[in-house]
Amino acid sequence: MENVTTYLKSGMLFESQMGDHRLLIEGPESWGGKNSAPMPPQIFMASIGSCVGVLVAHFCDTHQLDPTDMSIDVTYDSAEHPTRFINIKVAVHLPNAKCDDECTRKAIQSVAEHCPVHETITLLEGIEFTIITQ
């Protein structure tokens, strides 16, 4: 099983260790954050955008489409009771791919929708939490 471990560095600043990589994350300024790193919701949305981007770029590379200057916008709203994100929308911009036919656009959309982050959100059966004090 793979593992990501997140450590409190100081105040509201955290560092997540993923294999050989580290990522800083910070809580909001209203809770004591210093705006020195992205907040967890931003990382969550970035994971959707980057997951889609990797899959679409690979598709483009293997189907002779030019992914140069590709960008992915992830927009969302926040809701309360319970606190969550709603209206998540992903827009893939492929200005140089020359995919004018409907078949190619549908194939790219299918690839994007099969991003493991999206699939997990869609099919999630639950998350198990354990609190360890000693």
Q: What angle do CA 93, 94, 98 make, to 5 degrees?
A: 145
Residues 114 and 76 both lie in one domain: yes
Residue 3 included in any domain: yes
- The amino acid sitting at 134 is Q
Q: Are 121 and 74 in contact (CB under 8 A)?
A: no
Helices (H) and strands (E) in the chain, counts: 3, 5
Residues 14 and 25 both lie in one domain: yes
pLDDT at 134: 87
pLDDT at 111: 96
- The amino acid sitting at 91 is A
pLDDT tens track, the chain, 134 positions: 899 999 999 999 999 999 999 999 999 999 999 999 999 999 999 999 999 999 999 999 999 999 999 999 999 999 999 999 999 999 999 999 888 888 899 999 999 999 999 999 999 999 999 999 98
Q: Which domain holds residue 13?
A: 1-38
pTM higher than 0.75, yes or no? yes
Number of C-beta neighbours around residue 103 at 10 A:
8
